[in-house]
Amino acid sequence: VIYPPHSKLTDKEKTNICYLSFPDSNSGCIGDTQFCFRFRRSPGRKVSLCCFLDQLDKDLPVYLKKDSAYYYGYVYFRQVRDKSLKRGYFQKSLVLISKLPYVHLFRTMLKQIAPEYFEKSEAFLEAVCSDIDHWPPPVPGKVLQLPLMGLIMKLRIPTYRDKPGTTPIVQNMHQADAQISLALPTVHEVDLFRCFCPVFFHIQMLWELVLLGEPLVVMAPSPAESSETVLALVSCISPLKYCSDFRPYFTIHDSEFKEYTTRTQAPPSVILGVTNPFFAKTLQHWPHIIRIGDIKLPGEVPKQVKVKKLKNLKTLDSKPGVYTSYKPYLNKDEEIVKQLQKGVQQKRPTEAQSVILRRYFLELTESFIIPLERYVASLMPLQKCISPWKSPPQLRQFSQDDFMKTLEKAGPQLTSGLKGDWIGLYRHFLKSPNFDGWFRSRQKEMTQKLEALHLEALCNENLVFWSQEHTEVETVDLVLKLKNKLLQADREHLPVKTDTLKKLQTHINDIILALPDDLQDILLKTGT
């Protein structure tokens, strides 16, 4: 069943969704299980709602921007004994498909509606969708109130202006009416400490592997554990965006199965979450494998575990741990391990442990990225090089050697006490998809900034005076160029003040009015 019925999915997408919506038979998930998956959209589909979501997208932090090539599936699966059914079990999944990576929001939502849906069937979904139709647009930075079957969910989607590592609290207000309200502390975060607990002693090495876009497999007993762990890994380099593909739950039926498990070429830069024992054989040539048992909240932290050799990973019942021959570039930070171990002994709540861990990852990532930010900012031409009568100047080329030279005086040692081979880590990172993605988005931002400065320079000129000094042909050419500039500013959401755009429009109108009538008619008709 698909609801709303007019939703269009290709056959390939439907097949992927069906296989990904159920745990593998060996997982033995009895009761209710929640997990999430991510799958490729079929090419050549019409993009609906695109421009509207794009407007909102530009205010999001980079790691929450939607990736138009993928969908997320959020699953609530129920398996209970039922003698009245032929198979002896009731097995059903309710799946929510979205382009948005708001894991916690959709998880909470399914928890509210799935159990009732299993009892009441389709008419209930219709009522749910009618509530969702009344939701406000997902505007970042605003406190949103989302009605859902007598409940009001209150939440705030982060914006790129938020200081990294801070979460503005959404207060639970007392409703005067009968509706119960539920304040969500986050829309997208997973329980970081719970996810990393089974591989507790290797968090820093895993941070390096994710940062460098290395191929990683998470082998877990169920899709709930595999999906949470993959999402935790992807989020550990935040505020950097993880730019390669990641699959919180991946099965042998997936349309990319052949592409990702082939032995004819090196494993691709992806993070896969798997539960099928078959993968222990098909992926044993992968360089880094994380094997986790059931995620239980620790009464104690796992004993000090050495990194295991890959040749010891024969089957899926191998011991939990990290199997790799990777040698980390940075020395181990004993401080964070002690801090979290102490938290376990003192029975510190897991939310508080996650906050400590998230801050640790954030400081590590920022120490790593600040020198790059500083160097890339120096590639921007000076403002005095921007002339209204020439095209905007180009950014200078990124030079690895020049960047490496800056590290001596302005490297990560300014903000991090960690010793180790930072230079080696940077060299490796500069070859990774994460650097490529990060640098491209910085390039785009800076180019847009140059375009915006160029627009402002044009606005500050006396353009009418200029047009009186030049021929009609040159003036018409200028008008057309200025109109194009306005279109570009709108299309690319350039960071320009509204006043600047209005001023430019006034300039255009004044120039046109100073031209002969026949030209005025033509130029006013061409509008935009």
Both tokens assigned to 27: 């997982």
Whole-angstrom distance between the N-terminal and C-terminal Cα of the chain? 45
Q: Please, which residues bridge with residue 155 across strands?
A: 144
Q: Give the model confidence (pLDDT) of 425-466 as tens digits.
A: 999 999 999 999 999 999 999 999 998 888 888 888 887 788
Asked whether residue 301 carries a pLDDT value surpassing 60, the answer given is no
How far are the Cα atoms of 68, 78, 100, 257, 354 from residue 94, in angstroms, in the given order? Answer: 23, 9, 17, 24, 29
Highest mean pLDDT among 62-76, 204-218, 298-312: 204-218
Burial class (CB in 10 A: 0-12, 13-18, 19+), 348: middle
Q: Do residues 272 and 301 both lie within one domain?
A: yes
Would you say residue 439 lies in a domain? no
Asked whether residue 177 carries a pLDDT value surpassing 80, the answer given is no
Q: What's the pTM value of the predicted model, to 2 decimals?
A: 0.89
Would you say residue 165 lies in a domain? no
Q: Do residues 102 and 204 both lie within one domain?
A: no
How far is residue 407's CA from residue 224's CA, in Å, rounded to a whole number? Answer: 42
How far is residue 248's CA from residue 226's CA, in Å, rounded to a whole number? Answer: 6
**DSSP codes joined into one string, 327-352:** --SBPP-HHHHHHHHHHHHTT--HHH
Would you say residue 446 lies in a domain? no
Would you say residue 154 lies in a domain? no
Both tokens assigned to 13: 């997408």
Q: Do residues 20 and 94 both lie within one domain?
A: yes
How far is residue 128's CA from residue 437's CA, in Å, rounded to a whole number? Answer: 38
Q: Do residues 371 and 334 both lie within one domain?
A: no
Q: Do residues 488 and 410 both lie within one domain?
A: no
Q: Given 342, 357, 372, which residue is the final one in a domain?
A: 357
Rg (CA), the chain: 27
Q: What is the mean pLDDT of residues 227-254?
A: 94
Would you say residue 514 lies in a domain? yes
Would you say residue 32 lies in a domain? yes
Q: Do residues 56 and 114 both lie within one domain?
A: yes
Crossing angle for the helix pair 498-513 and 433-459, nearest 10 degrees?
A: 50
Q: What is the pLDDT of residue 316?
A: 47
Buried b or exposed e, range 231-266, using 16+ CB within 10 angstroms:
bbbbbbbbebbbbbbbbbbbbeebebeeebbeeeee
Q: Give the model confidence (pLDDT) of 96-141 as tens digits.
A: 999 999 999 999 999 999 999 998 878 899 999 999 999 999 999 9
Query: Tokens 């042998």 label which residue?
Result: 252
Give the DSSP H or E segment for 452.
Answer: helix 433-459
Would you say residue 16 lies in a domain? yes
- Mean pLDDT, the chain, integer: 86
Both tokens assigned to 505: 């429009």
Q: Which of 63, 29, 54, 308 is nearest to 164 (CA)?
A: 63
Q: Do residues 466 and 429 both lie within one domain?
A: no
Q: What is the pLDDT of residue 527?
A: 52
Domain that holds residue 518: 462-526
- What is the number of structural domains in the chain? 4
Both tokens assigned to 364: 């590590």
**Sign of the dihedral defined by the CA atoms of residues 401, 403, 404, 405, in that order:** positive
CB atoms inside a 10 Å sphere around CB 271: 26
Would you say residue 457 lies in a domain? no
If one compares 230 and 49, the residue with the highest pLDDT of the two is 230
Q: What is the mean pLDDT of residues 328-336?
A: 92
Q: Given 357, 384, 399, which residue is the final one in a domain?
A: 357
Q: Residue 528: pLDDT band by 50, 70, 90 thresholds?
A: very low
Q: Do residues 20 and 119 both lie within one domain?
A: yes
Q: Given 302, 327, 357, which residue is the final one in a domain?
A: 357
Query: Tokens 């079990």 label which residue?
Result: 89
If one compares 231 and 81, the residue with the highest pLDDT of the two is 231
Q: Do residues 340 and 200 both lie within one domain?
A: yes
Q: Give the model confidence (pLDDT) of 386-433 as tens digits.
A: 888 888 888 899 999 999 999 988 888 888 888 999 999 999 999 999
- Of 76-85, 259-268, 295-304, 336-345, least confident by mean pLDDT is 295-304
How far is residue 454's CA from residue 383's CA, in Å, rounded to a whole number? Answer: 9
How far is residue 517's CA from residue 313's CA, in Å, rounded to a whole number? Answer: 82
Q: Which of 494, 491, 497, 527 is nearest to 509 (CA)?
A: 527
Q: Do residues 252 and 329 both lie within one domain?
A: yes
Q: Phi-psi region for residue 321, left (φ > 0), alpha (ψ -120 to 50) or beta? A: left
Helix residue spans in 60-176 (DSSP H): 103-120, 122-132
Q: Do residues 343 and 208 both lie within one domain?
A: yes
Q: Do residues 275 and 420 both lie within one domain?
A: no
Q: Phi-psi region for residue 313, left (φ > 0), alpha (ψ -120 to 50) or beta? A: beta
- Of 215-219, 281-285, 394-398, least confident by mean pLDDT is 281-285
